[in-house]
Chain A
Amino acid sequence: MAEARVIRVRTGPRLWLSGAWLTIIALLAILAPLITPHDPLAQDLMLGKLPPAWVTGAEPGYLFGTDSLGRDVLSRLISATRPALIVAIGAGLSACILGSILGLLAGFFGGWTDRVISRIVDIWMAFPPVLLSILLVAFLNPSLQSVIIAIAIIDWTRFCRVVRAETMQQRHMEYVESARAMGRTRFATLLREVLPNVLPAIIVLLSLEMGIAVIVEAILSYVNLSVSTDQATWGSMIAEGRGIIYQAWWVLLFPMIALFLTVLAFSQFGEGLKERFDPVLR
């Protein structure tokens, strides 16, 4: 009883705090057009660089101030949750599925399968990731879709390596032999016996990858290679804020905080899930 309580205290806040933040982000993304106080794209040059509401010189109705074109920072912040989440889920899942399948095959079957897949991973990882993603997006034409494709193409190796190592470890367990002895095919053994044991690692990694995808999207936005300029993103807001940091620090600061908290929440959420639901750890 006492032991259970200790574990709860240890895992509780991590999972629930990160979960709460991600829920807020998800709700904002879904409801964005309904709840933004202003049109995130509406410019009003008369209202440029207004400070946040608690600083002298603020205008009522602009809680986090406005940028140099007079666009409402809060509205842009909210509207930018959408591309961030789409990229996190789209790119995270694609990289996860591609990498995990190859990692499972390499780790379980070994031999030639493993050698071929592992060499591809080695070669892949020799490319500098940020440069490669910039090249890829430039080549595919900047859009949310190509950002997702670029991240998946680059980051599947992360999953592949970890899943391969975990699978190899499981492959030599006697429960795998038992399953085969009772007449399961190799493939069924892999899916039904080995995969559930590798899944906790995959989930942690997926959550981490979603955070990374958000950062990569911000980087690509920063160099103006993500979505078009009629959609606000945290990266493009940071890029715009950088130029006017001495006159209007808030344009830079708020998207950075949003980015930071979201990435942190993704990574903590995965760890928390693992602690909570992995039967072996629990």
Chain B
Amino acid sequence: MTAYLDIANLSVALRRGGRLLRSVSLRVEPGEVHALVGESGAGKSMIARAVFGILPNAVKIIEGDVTLAGESLTAMPEGARRLFIGKRAAFIPQDPLTALNPSKRIEQQICDRLVHILGLSRKDAHARALALLGEVKITSPERVMRLYPHELSGGMRQRVLIAAAFAAEPRLIVADEPTTALDVTVQKQILGLIADMQARHGTALLFVTHNLGVVAKLCQTASVLYAGKVVEQASVQQLFSKPQHAYTRALMAATPRYDRPEESLKPASPELIAALAREVADTDAAWAKEHQHA
């Protein structure tokens, strides 16, 4: 089966300095939900940005390839690539407070996307946007269309962002910790909504998160990231029943269990941290050796 998104051996580095992503490979099959798990700073968001070619200025891809729908993005010229990605993939950013343009009404934000990507007329875009807002369970979509982002709650904004992401029927959605900025009750609703929309549209989803509970519920496969390196990659079932890597086990031990409140959380042991640092150093050494001749 060909993967819809295929990241192969991707290394990303600061323009001056070390690697932030260390030869990352991951595949997302059509319609699959793939979790990208790791602690802050592990490079999860960096992968998401690399897919869209919106890495920060100070960062560049030094090695590897990103393939979307069978076409290599790294080989594609800039102009063609932008449209190619825009048509096939969408991005749900982390912070719904700044992810909507504060000076534009909701209607305009969704319609702009439909007009830009699908080339719809304003009238068709309007009808479509209304339907989308209904689909993400926004009551009185007519009214919400006319509002500015600051007039909506965080949960409502995230619903709007989800509607916008699914608007042009992309085959892949990259969600960068879409619930982190929301409070717990709203998180649950939004997760349910994303799962629901994903199932209904059959969209592949790359779900960036540090919440293992979400992974168990929502995803089929997962990549565990540490310091820009994929330390474990497995189906979610396998990951939870037989975690292979010590880091994955530590990550699970650091997740609160509502069913076992008497168990205290276990922080990563110093031995584990040292072992991880060694592993990363070894990877870098091997990589440097390999690239000496090039």
Contact = CB atoms under 8 A, between A and B. Distances in A.
B103 A280 contact: yes
Given A279-B102, A279-B148, A178 B82 contact: no
Interface stretch (A23-31, A129-137, A182-190): A182-190
Contact of A181 (B52, B98, B112, B150): B52
Nearest to B81: A183
Interface string A155-194: 0000000000000000001110111111111000000110
A179 B94 CA distance: 14
A196 interface: yes
A174 B94 contact: yes
Given A111-B57, A279-B148, A196 B103 contact: yes
A178 B87 CA distance: 13
B117 A175 contact: no
Interface string B101-119: 1111000000011001100
A182 B57 contact: no
Nearest to A192: B112
Interface residues of B, number: 32
Contact of A183 (B82, B98, B101, B161): B82
B222 interface: no
A71 to B, nearest CB: 50
Contacts of B91: 177-178, 181-182
B43 interface: no
B102 A183 contact: no
A110 B49 CA distance: 19
A279 B146 CA distance: 12
Contact of B148 (A177, A179, A185, A280): A280
A4 B58 CA distance: 46
A175 B93 CA distance: 8
B113 to A, nearest CB: 6
A50 B99 CA distance: 67
Contacts of A180: 52, 54
B113 A196 contact: no
A43 interface: no
Interface in B74-133: 79, 82-83, 85-87, 89-91, 93-95, 98-104, 112-113, 116-117
Chain A CB within 10 Å, residue with most, of B94, B100, B101: B101
Interface string A8-43: 000000000000000000000000000000000000
Interface string A196-221: 11010000000000000000000000
Contacts of B49: 177
B101 A182 contact: no
Nearest to A197: B103
A110 B86 CA distance: 25
A184 B109 CA distance: 13
A175 B148 contact: no
B86 A183 contact: yes
B101 A181 contact: no
A111 B101 CA distance: 24
B116 A193 contact: no
Contacts of A174: 93-95, 98-99
Contacts of B85: 181, 183
A75 B57 CA distance: 60
B59 to A, nearest CB: 13
Interface string B12-29: 000000000000000000
Nearest to A279: B148
Given A181-B85, A183-B82, A280 B102 contact: yes
A183 B103 contact: no
Nearest to A194: B101
A100 to B, nearest CB: 16
Nearest to B101: A175
Interface string A271-282: 000000001100
Interface of A: 110-111, 173-175, 177-185, 192-193, 196-197, 199, 279-280
22 contacts: A173-B98, A174-B94, A174-B98, A175-B100, A175-B102, A177-B91, A177-B99, A178-B93, A178-B99, A181-B85, A181-B90, A181-B91, A182-B86, A182-B113, A182-B116, A182-B117, A183-B83, A183-B85, A183-B86, A193-B101, A197-B101, A197-B102
